[in-house]
A = this chain, B = another copy of it.
Amino acid sequence: MGKDQQPSDTRERFIQAATRLFSERGFYGASMDQIAREVGLTKQAMIHHFGTKEKLYGAVLEDISERLMDELAKQGKETPVTFPESIQQIFRYTRKNPLESRVLMRELLDNRSRTNRAGRWYLKPFLDRLNGALKETGAWHKASDADIAARVYQLLGAISYFEVSTATLEAMYSSEQVKSMTEAYPELLAQLADLPPGG
């Protein structure tokens, strides 16, 4: 937020560790002491940087949101890309950064109960950007904003859910099966992303 926001390295390391622990155990399950010790500093050092646990968590979300935006920006820089490609890229990104998917998913779950005080929803710009991309796509020019948002959300849902549940899948099915599912998934996503709107 305000301030100069120099990464300060230490701050960055706290955010990294917090991302890991929040992703594994959730907001309530991860303790400040744990996170700080992961970095090799004390809980109070962390409090010095972030103030409260809530604010630390906010910093983590902000960080994730930025990375997702960067990913999309990076993509569009050279070649104009299609919407399905964007979706596949997000999928690949979440595969490479599973921790962030988990934090995001948890945020959606916790959001309702934790006081949504700031009212600031860190992911909104990212979603708006995807919505815009879909709107530019052939059959979607005339689609309503709601239809567009629904499709985008469905795709993100499928992506997050897949990533998040991989561990469970592996416990239920053979790891070969999981592997072939994982490989087949981008194509499935692309199919769905290409599906024209409405019934």
Q: Could you list which residues of chain A lie within 8 angstroms of chain B, going by C-beta atoms?
A: 24-29, 102, 105-106, 108-113, 116, 119, 121, 124, 127, 144-147, 149-151, 153-154, 156-158, 160-162, 164-165, 167-169, 171-173, 177-178, 180-181, 184-185, 187-188, 190-192, 195, 199
Contact = CB atoms under 8 A, between A and B. Distances in A.
Given A146-B181, A157-B162, A161-B160, A167 B124 contact: no
Given A127-B172, A153-B169, A165-B108, A25 B113 contact: yes
A119 B149 CA distance: 38
Contact of A145 (B28, B109, B177): B177
B109 A150 contact: no
A147 B184 contact: yes
Main secondary structure of the interface of A (DSSP, over half): helix
B158 A154 contact: yes
For this chain, the copies found in one complex come to 2
Contact of A146 (B29, B184, B199): B184
Contact of A29 (B24, B28, B154, B173): B28
Contacts of A116: 171
